[in-house]
Amino acid sequence: MEAYAVYLHLDLLEVVPARGEPRRMIMSFVRSLANNPFTPGDFTDQDDSLRTRQIKIVGHYAVTYWVDDPVKTVMEVGVQPADR
Protein backbone atom coordinates (compact mmCIF):
# COMPACT_ATOMS: atom_id res chain seq x y z
CA MET A 1 0.00 0.00 0.00
CA GLU A 2 1.24 3.46 -0.89
CA ALA A 3 1.96 5.65 2.14
CA TYR A 4 -0.74 8.20 2.95
CA ALA A 5 -0.01 11.85 3.67
CA VAL A 6 -0.69 12.84 7.26
CA TYR A 7 -1.95 16.36 7.99
CA LEU A 8 -2.01 17.99 11.41
CA HIS A 9 -4.39 20.79 12.27
CA LEU A 10 -2.24 23.80 13.24
CA ASP A 11 -3.86 24.10 16.67
CA LEU A 12 -2.47 20.67 17.57
CA LEU A 13 1.02 22.08 17.76
CA GLU A 14 -0.07 24.09 20.80
CA VAL A 15 -1.53 21.04 22.57
CA VAL A 16 1.15 18.42 21.92
CA PRO A 17 3.89 18.67 24.54
CA ALA A 18 6.97 20.47 23.22
CA ARG A 19 9.36 17.70 24.29
CA GLY A 20 9.73 14.52 26.24
CA GLU A 21 8.21 11.07 26.14
CA PRO A 22 4.57 12.20 25.64
CA ARG A 23 5.56 14.11 22.47
CA ARG A 24 7.64 11.19 21.19
CA MET A 25 4.74 8.77 21.69
CA ILE A 26 2.18 11.04 20.01
CA MET A 27 4.40 11.85 17.05
CA SER A 28 5.39 8.19 16.62
CA PHE A 29 1.72 7.22 16.46
CA VAL A 30 0.92 10.04 14.02
CA ARG A 31 3.80 8.99 11.75
CA SER A 32 2.68 5.35 11.89
CA LEU A 33 -0.65 6.33 10.33
CA ALA A 34 1.11 7.09 7.02
CA ASN A 35 1.70 3.36 6.51
CA ASN A 36 -1.31 2.11 8.49
CA PRO A 37 -4.02 4.74 7.90
CA PHE A 38 -6.87 2.44 8.90
CA THR A 39 -5.49 1.77 12.37
CA PRO A 40 -8.61 1.56 14.50
CA GLY A 41 -8.99 3.90 17.41
CA ASP A 42 -10.00 2.90 20.90
CA PHE A 43 -13.22 4.88 20.40
CA THR A 44 -15.10 6.62 17.60
CA ASP A 45 -17.23 9.74 17.37
CA GLN A 46 -18.82 11.81 14.63
CA ASP A 47 -18.13 15.38 13.62
CA ASP A 48 -20.76 17.94 12.55
CA SER A 49 -20.87 16.45 9.04
CA LEU A 50 -21.49 12.98 10.55
CA ARG A 51 -18.03 11.77 9.48
CA THR A 52 -16.79 8.96 11.72
CA ARG A 53 -13.55 9.84 13.46
CA GLN A 54 -11.18 7.50 15.29
CA ILE A 55 -9.93 8.36 18.76
CA LYS A 56 -6.75 6.62 19.87
CA ILE A 57 -5.39 6.85 23.41
CA VAL A 58 -1.64 7.49 23.27
CA GLY A 59 -0.12 7.78 26.72
CA HIS A 60 -2.24 10.33 28.55
CA TYR A 61 -3.59 11.92 25.36
CA ALA A 62 -6.51 11.22 23.03
CA VAL A 63 -5.62 11.66 19.34
CA THR A 64 -8.57 12.19 16.98
CA TYR A 65 -8.19 11.47 13.25
CA TRP A 66 -10.06 10.40 10.14
CA VAL A 67 -9.01 8.96 6.79
CA ASP A 68 -9.80 10.59 3.45
CA ASP A 69 -9.21 7.49 1.34
CA PRO A 70 -9.86 8.98 -2.15
CA VAL A 71 -6.98 11.43 -1.70
CA LYS A 72 -4.88 9.11 0.51
CA THR A 73 -4.64 11.37 3.53
CA VAL A 74 -5.05 11.04 7.27
CA MET A 75 -6.40 14.16 8.93
CA GLU A 76 -5.30 14.68 12.55
CA VAL A 77 -7.92 16.97 14.01
CA GLY A 78 -7.54 16.73 17.77
CA VAL A 79 -5.17 16.02 20.61
CA GLN A 80 -6.32 16.52 24.16
CA PRO A 81 -5.63 15.08 27.59
CA ALA A 82 -7.34 11.68 27.75
CA ASP A 83 -8.98 12.34 31.09
CA ARG A 84 -11.40 14.94 29.60
Residues 48-65: tens digit of each pLDDT: 999 999 999 999 999 999
46: containing domain = 5-81
Residue 35 has a pLDDT of 97
pLDDT grade, residue 45 (50/70/90)? very high
pLDDT of residue 84: 58
Helix ranges (H only) for 1-84 are 12-15, 21-32
Q: What is the pLDDT of residues 6-40, one digit of tens each?
A: 999 888 888 888 899 999 999 999 999 999 999 99
pTM: 0.91
Helix (H) or strand (E) holding 79: strand 73-81
DSSP-derived secondary structure letter, 4: P
Can you give the CATH number for the domain in which 60 is found? 3.30.2310.20
Total structural domains in the chain? 1
